[in-house]
């Protein structure tokens, strides 16, 4: 009999939620193009607009300000641009400031030239350095155009929650715009675009149990918008053209609604499992380092390292035992390498870190198995004084 595998990599992608699966299947039975005016087209359009409302509700936004995309990466490349419009008038953004722990989709800087973007330092706690950001904003030359700042709400590797409201206060005091990657936050904590005072939020379908291939850029208002990345037939009010992926969008909307309904009950149970996991890991290996443990974190994430063990070695060892987890973020086709997040936090990152991320279906028995595998791996790395 094949060994049962355990999935502890929910930050990379969440298994398809039953409600999302049902919505996708129903949408696949519709043959109409949502831009068509006949009955079939109107039926498809209704599904798209329902999903838009569901996504807006998840982040405290307005449906009219939700721009549907193929995913969070496209949304990031759309909004990270020097060229915005305020109504019909062009608005120039002079420089991009990106926190050093952003996901590569944001950290690459979108449509900004290399000499028009700068990194914002982070503290050893894993949170953005507000003093460093203030210094950069004070030094920003308004002659170049407005400053655009990108700071994620929850880091995808450590799970550390960023002080976004404080960042927003600084950015807006200096006349800038704030983009927040909320991909790892939605479904794991309450998210409200107005409370965060963000100008734009980036969200993704497959991180919350929706299908892959859908995401959204959510704007605070309708007036200020980036120039389109994809032009064509005028879909999404011209902000993102191309025929909508109706089935993926419908699944995204259903997942968004489910996440909001289940938020509190789901996360209380997950936090208890995560805390038990970390307690038992420390008992098994007192020298384990849990990154960001003293900072506010979402309930489901543990990012840890063991001295004398490379992250890649650890990931393979867990996988051979039937447990799926990540060595850092799952952002580039099977790549296991140096964590830019740990480097930014000031850690010696030669070994790297392993990320366990839990989900609604994670069980106490799975935690027991993960701990037993961790114990064996931690023990083996010291056998004969050799690293695992």
**88-94 contacts at long range (C-beta below 8 A, 24 or more positions apart):** 91/146, 91/224, 92/145, 92/146, 93/145, 93/146, 93/147, 93/148, 93/177, 94/140, 94/141, 94/142, 94/143, 94/144, 94/145, 94/146, 94/147
Q: In whole angstroms, give the CA distance from residue 204 to residue 281.
A: 31
Catalytic residue among 30, 43, 331, 369: 331
Residue 331 falls in the annotated catalytic set = yes
Quick one: 386 exposed, middle or buried, by C-beta within 10 A (0-12, 13-18, 19+)? exposed
Catalytic machinery residues: 331
């Amino acid at each position: 009999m094949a060994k049962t595998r355990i999935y502890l990599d929910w930050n990379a992608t969440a298994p398809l939620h039953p409600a999302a699966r049902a919505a996708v299947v129903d949408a696949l039975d519709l043959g109409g193009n949502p831009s068509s005016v006949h009955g079939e087209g109107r039926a498809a359009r209704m599904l798209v607009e329902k999903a838009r409302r569901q996504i807006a509700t998840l982040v405290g936004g307005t449906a009219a300000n939700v721009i549907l995309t193929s995913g969070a990466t496209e949304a990031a490349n759309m909004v990270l641009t020097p060229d915005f419009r305020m109504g019909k008038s062009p608005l120039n953004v002079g420089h991009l400031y990106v926190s050093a722990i952003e996901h590569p989709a944001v950290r690459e800087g979108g449509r900004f030239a290399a000499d028009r973007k700068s990194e914002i330092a982070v503290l050893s706690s894993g949170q953005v350095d507000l003093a460093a950001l203030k210094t950069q904003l004070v030094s920003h030359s308004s002659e170049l155009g407005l400053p655009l700042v990108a700071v994620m709400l929850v880091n995808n590797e450590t799970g550390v929650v960023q002080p976004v409201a404080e960042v927003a206060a600084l950015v807006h005091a200096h006349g800038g715009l704030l983009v927040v990657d909320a991909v790892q936050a939605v479904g794991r904590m309450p998210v409200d675009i107005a409370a965060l005072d963000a100008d734009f939020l980036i969200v993704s379908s497959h991180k919350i149990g929706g299908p892959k291939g859908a995401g959204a850029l959510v704007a605070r208002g309708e007036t200020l918008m980036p120039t389109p990345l994809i032009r064509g037939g005028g879909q999404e009010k011209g902000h993102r053209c191309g025929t909508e992926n109706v089935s993926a969008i419908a699944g995204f909307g259903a997942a968004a609604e489910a996440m909001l309904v289940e938020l509190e009950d789901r996360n209380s149970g997950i936090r208890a499992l995560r805390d038990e996991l970390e307690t038992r890991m420390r008992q098994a290996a007192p020298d384990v380092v849990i990154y960001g443990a003293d900072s506010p974190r979402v309930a489901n994430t543990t990012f840890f390292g063991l001295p004398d063990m490379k992250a890649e070695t650890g990931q393979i060892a867990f996988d051979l035992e039937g447990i799926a987890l990540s060595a850092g973020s799952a952002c580039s086709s099977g790549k296991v390498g140096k964590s830019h997040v740990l480097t930014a936090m000031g850690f010696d990152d030669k070994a790297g870190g392993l990320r366990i991320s839990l989900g609604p279906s994670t069980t106490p028995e799975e935690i027991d198995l993960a701990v037993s595998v961790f114990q064996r791996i931690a023990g083996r790395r010291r056998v004969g004084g050799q690293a695992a």
